[in-house]
Amino acid sequence: MNFNTNNSLDSVSAKSTRSKPSTSGAPEAKAPASTPTAPSSNAGDQVVLSQEAQTLGRLQSKIDSAPDVNLDKVAEIRRAIAEGRFEINPERIAENMLNQDLLG
């Protein structure tokens, strides 16, 4: 099938175009392509977000502004290590690793 410059389908299929030899020997004239009209801008257009979308936007802003690392927790762990009271619980580590694997 042939497509004109407006990306609309021509009424003549490619198969029927090939089967018709040109009788005049001159190239076939094509109809001029019409120019699509652009939609007019309306100054009264507006977008209204649902309450849920507004809440999600606020939550995303809070997440974006939160630090990547909990500095208070890091400081507490450093103090615990320095004081010799930090205990490693291998079962808890393994459990959390498995839980992360199940989520991903």
Residue 88 lies in a domain: yes
State the pLDDT at residue 66.
86
Residue 27 lies in a domain: no
Residue 68 lies in a domain: yes
pTM summary value: 0.34
Under 8 Å CB-to-CB from 89, ≥6 apart: which residues?
none
Percentage of the chain with pLDDT > 90? Answer: 41
Residue 6 lies in a domain: no
Strand-pairing partners, residue 3, are 9
**Mind listing the pLDDT tens digit for each residue in 34-71?**
555 555 666 789 999 899 999 999 999 999 998 889 99
Task: Print the domain residue range for 72.
Answer: 51-103
- Scan for tokens 């320095």, then name that residue: 82
State the pLDDT at residue 44.
84
Residue 65 lies in a domain: yes
Question: In this structure, what DSSP letter does residue 9 have?
Answer: B
3 three-state secondary structure: strand
Residue 38 lies in a domain: no
* Count of domains forming the chain: 1
In degrees and rounded to multiples of 5, residue 5 shows phi and psi of -70, -15
